[in-house]
Structures are given as C-alpha cells and as structure tokens.
A and B are shown apart, each in its own frame.
Chain A
C-alpha cells in the first residue's frame, strides 16, 4: 500500500478512537443523568496537566494515570454533589453551571501554570513500520489502547450487571428505583467515572498536544458535534458520530489544512442540527 495512504488511514483511526474515549464519558453521563457536562473537556485538560506535573517531578509517565484519576475522581465527586445533583432535571441550569465550572477550572489552572504551552515528552519514542510506512510508536500504541478501552467499556456496558442497571435507569428512572437500584448512588458513580475517563484521555493525549489551559474547549466542541451527528440514543450512534467527525476532520485536514478540517466539521454539525436534529441513531 502507498505509505502516505497508510499514514492517513492510521491518522483517521487515531483521531476517531481517541475522540470516542472522550465522548464516551460525556455520553454515558448524559444518558444516565440527563446532564450535558460542559466542563468535560476541562477534565481532559487537567489530566494532561497531571502528566506534565509528573514529568516535571522526574517520575515515570505512567504515574500520571493514578494521579489524574485521583484528582479528577475527587473533583467529579465534589462537582456531582454540589453542582449537578441540586440542579437535577433542570437541563438549562446545568448547562450554565457546568459552563461556569469549565471557566473556573481553566482560570484555576492558568493561575498555577500560566497561559503558555507546556510540552510533555513522549514516553515511547521512535516509530514502527506499518505496511511500509513509518508511524510514531506512541500514536500507534495510543490508538490500540483507545480502541481496546472503548471496546472493553462497550462490552462491559452490554454484558455486566452494572451496565444493565445503568441501561435500566436510562430507560425508566422511576421503575429503576422501585426495583431496588440505588439510582442516586449509581448516578454519582457514573458521573465520577465519566470524569475519570476524560482524565485518562488527557494523560494519554498529553504528549501529542500543546498542553495549555484552553485545550479542553476543542474537545468539548468536537464531542458535542459527535453527539449531534451520532444522536444520543446508543453506543452505535456515538461511535459512528466519532467516525464522521473525527474522520472528516482528519481527512480534510490532511488534504487541505486544519482550518478547513474544522470548518467542514462545523458545517456538518449545522446541517445535522438543521436537517436531522436527532442524529443518525435517535434516542427512542
């Protein structure tokens, strides 16, 4: 195969799979709590800063994972209790509140680290040969880990008892409480889980991103577009949405430039909102 084509395909897969990890956390929280957490991207950003912090301490890169999970898990717990739960069933207020939270988190990180870009060194240097094309090892590893993570979570969601209960709550919250599912605790755990997933994505992506306080904005916008295109109904919708948004952006960016990539994604999202507001796989 033409090495350029191979690299482009790998880039698309990379873009789609990492985006899917970020959106999965956002979508599960939306499905269960009916809350669109606009600060989701900031949890990615904090995860990335955890990676930066760990490297600055000369600790091994992998140590950033427990740190990011701890920090964002605790933050998620506090946010759920103080911000999300009191505003339950008030979607517009929750949007405003989480948007405010995202600003607060950006400012807080800026106060500590400043606005400048920080770079995180790639823990895995060098490249590997994929069908005759040289591809950076870390990107490839990240793609594989992201696919495994999404596949594992989907499998867990479909097969485990907890996954079944989450689906039950999403479908019929009132009945779920009556059959004995502790709905409040499950919602809290799911919110914390979504934050942790964002944090994990932040750590993994840190070496490939210019780490700065506003990096979460790009993720929340793209995640939002994914949900607009895919619909909020199912995991199939989520993954196809990530495929369309991540795929189109990386293809257009590769052949034209990133501005065109971003513009195309924006146009697709607008067209979907206009012509097919429930996405490819609507919620039933």
Chain B
C-alpha cells in the first residue's frame, strides 16, 4: 500500500497555525500508518478542529510540514488532497444542506453505487428512507451519519474525521465503530478527533492529547489509562 515501504502513511510535524495572525495550534506533530487509528483527544477549544483544518488545507500553515505517502502536501488545495486519498469529514456543517441525501452521496459520482452504499444503508436505514429529502431537514446526528457514510464509502487511504459521533445515538455510534474497525482491517489509516472517550478507545491504536493548542501527551492507546485521559478531557 505504501510503495512497499512500511512506515507512516501520513505524518505532520511542527504544525503551527490559526486564523489570520492568531496562532491556535503550536508545533503539533503526529503520524498514522495504514491499518491504524490515531485519536486526537482534548477539551473543547484546545485547537483540535483547527489542527484538522490545517492538515486538510483549509487553513494555511504558519510553519511545519504535512506529508502523505512520502509527498509534501505544502500549499495543495483541499480538492488536490482529496484526489490523493485524503478524505475529510468536518465537525461543523458536515453535509450540503441544500442538496438531497442522494445528491450528497452522488455529488462526485454519476449514480448511486448500490454495492458501495448497501452495507451503510443496512446499518443506517434512516438514510435510505430520506434519499430525496434535502440534507438540511435531517437532525444534527443524522447529518453526521450522512457525512460519515459519504467519507467512509470513498476509496481514499486516509480518513480524517472530526467528532463523527457528536449528536449520534449510542447504537449508531457502535455501528460507526464497526465500520471503522473494518476500514482499519482493510488497511486504511484513520485520524479521528473525538470527545466520546469510550468510542475513541474502542478504535484507537494511538492517542494524541491536546491542550492549549499543543500536544501534551502522545503514545500507544494501550499504554494510556482511562483515568489519565479522562483527566485531560474534563475541566
């Protein structure tokens, strides 16, 4: 998958950036290999979403580097990153509200590929029953499911999910975890921002904890105790 060379598919180091002159994220680093999930944890407002937007090309880096498959992504616009195989599901406004559910799923493909979506429709029947409705009429959690399905069904090798479980019912969160385990088994790499610690620890191989825009703790998920992590996530 990785040109025969084992190692991280995606890595970033010294990533610093924010909005305009304001720096939100400082010197963040991390990596994720094929078949591996890395979860970014931390309280609200510590810069997790900003980091995701820096990594996906929606915000310019003030310094640092982001590499995918041995290639620098410096200056590449989001659509070119997508073409390389970076699939991003944002936290806020995760779907096109003015398009129907079907249009959201088929925007970049001519027709709905039943084979591609069948397992998702089986797990989340709400989507199939709302195909012709505009996505803006879905609840917040349903929009997150639609965004999740759009992203996971794509063929890209790296999935960047920003709080996929936010507002989603527990049973559907469990189904999401199932799909993410399958994605890992298929050799895809996952970078996930999460607030739901149980969900995060279910899928994570690695954990990055952020506070005040910096990485304060990073390592194998197996080495972290839930108490340590919980301490970082609550005030």
- Interface residues of chain A, those whose CB is within 8 Å of chain B, are 161, 164-165, 167-168, 170-172, 174-184, 284
Partner of B103, one of A164, A172, A174, A180: A164
Q: Which residues of A contact B83 (CB under 8 A)?
A: 180
| 8 Å CB interface, B95-112 against A | 95-99, 103, 107-108, 110
Report the Cα distance A284→B107, complex, angstroms: 21
Can you give 13 A-B contacts (C-beta < 8 A)?
A161-B110, A165-B107, A174-B58, A174-B93, A175-B94, A175-B95, A175-B96, A177-B57, A177-B77, A177-B82, A178-B78, A178-B79, A181-B79
> A180–B108 contact, CB under 8 A?
yes
Count B-side interface residues using an 8 Å CB cutoff: 24
- Identify which of B79, B96, B110 contacts A172 (C-beta below 8 A): B96
**What residues of B have a CB within 8 angstroms of the CB of A177 in the complex?**
57-58, 77-79, 82
A171 near B79 (CB under 8 angstroms)?
no
Complex contact B78–A168 (CB within 8 A) = no
Q: Does B34 sit at the interface, judged by CB under 8 A?
A: no
Q: How many inter-chain contacts with C-beta < 8 Å in the A-B complex?
A: 65
Inter-chain CA distance A172–B103, complex, in Å, is: 14
Determine whether the beta carbon of B99 is less than 8 Å from that of A164: yes
Chain B hits for A178, CB < 8 A:
56, 58, 78-79, 82, 87-88, 90
Contact residues in A for B94 (Cβ distance below 8 Å): 175
Measured between beta carbons, the chain B residues less than 8 angstroms from A176 are 96
CB of A172 within 8 A of CB of B77, answer: no
Residues from chain A with a CB closer than 8 A to the CB of B90 are 174-175, 178
CA distance A14 to B94 in the complex (A): 43
Question: Are B99 and A184 within 8 A (Cβ)?
Answer: no
CB neighbours (8 Å) of B96 from chain A are 167-168, 171-172, 175-176
A184, B83: Cα distance in complex, Å: 15
Name B89's closest neighbour in chain A (CB-CB): A178
Is B206 part of the contact surface with A, judged by Cβ < 8 Å? no
Q: Mark B39-80, 1 if CB is under 8 A from A, else 0.
A: 000000000000000001110000000000000000001110
Determine whether B144 belongs to the interface, using a CB cutoff of 8 Å to chain A.
Answer: no
Contact A180 B98 (CB under 8 A): no
B157 within 8 A of A: no
Cβ distance B51 to chain A, nearest Cβ, rounded Å:
15
Chain B residues lying within 8 Å of A168, measured Cβ to Cβ, are 96, 98-99, 107
Let me know if B98 and A167 touch, CB within 8 A.
Answer: yes
What residues of A have a CB within 8 angstroms of the CB of B78 in the complex? 174, 177-178, 183
Contact B103 A184 (CB under 8 A): no
Q: Which of A164, A167, A171, A183 contacts B77 (CB 8 A)?
A: A183
Q: Which residue of the partner chain A has the closest CB to B81?
A: A178
- Given A171-B97, A174-B90, list of 14 further CB < 8 A pairs? A167-B96, A167-B99, A168-B98, A168-B99, A171-B98, A172-B95, A172-B97, A174-B58, A174-B78, A175-B90, A177-B77, A177-B78, A181-B79, A184-B77
A251 to chain B, nearest CB (A): 34
Q: CB-CB < 8 A to A171: which residues of B?
A: 96-99
Return chain A residues, CB-CB under 8 Å to B97: 171-172
Using Cβ atoms and an 8 Å threshold, which residues of chain B touch A184? 77
CB distance from A204 to the nearest CB of B (A): 32
At the interface, yes or no: B150 with Cβ under 8 Å from chain A? yes
Q: Which residues of A contact B136 (CB under 8 A)?
A: 284
Contacts of A181 in B (CB 8 A): 79, 107-108
Q: A167-B99, A168-B107 are in contact. Are A175 and B93 (CB under 8 A)?
A: yes
Asked if B98 and A179 make an inter-chain contact with CB atoms under 8 angstroms apart, the answer reads no
Residue from the set B77, B98, B136 with the largest chain A CB neighbour count within 10 Å: B98
Q: Which residue of chain B is the closest to A186 with respect to CB atoms?
A: B79
What is the CB-to-nearest-CB distance from A157 to chain B, in angstroms, rounded to a whole number? 12
Interchain CB contact under 8 A, B108 and A172: no
Question: How distant is the Cα of A181 from the Cα of B103 in the complex, in angstroms?
Answer: 14
Contact between B99 and A179, CB atoms less than 8 A apart: no
Nearest 7 CB-CB pairings of A with B = A177-B78, A180-B82, A178-B88, A171-B98, A182-B79, A168-B96, A171-B96
Contact A172 B93 (CB under 8 A): yes
Q: Which residues of B contact A167 (CB under 8 A)?
A: 96, 98-99
Q: How far is the CA of A149 from the CA of B9 in the complex (A)?
A: 49
CB distance from A8 to the nearest CB of B (A): 38
Which residues of B have CB within 8 Å of A164?
A: 99, 103, 107
B203 CB, min distance to chain A CBs, angstroms: 21
Smallest distance from the beta carbon of B117 to chain A beta carbons, Å? 15
List B143-157 residues whose CB lies under 8 Å from chain A. Answer: 150
Interface centre among A165, A171, A179, A180 (most CB of B within 10 A): A179
- List of B residues within 8 angstroms of A180 by Cβ: 79, 82-83, 108
Q: Which residue of A lies closest to B90 (CB)?
A: A175
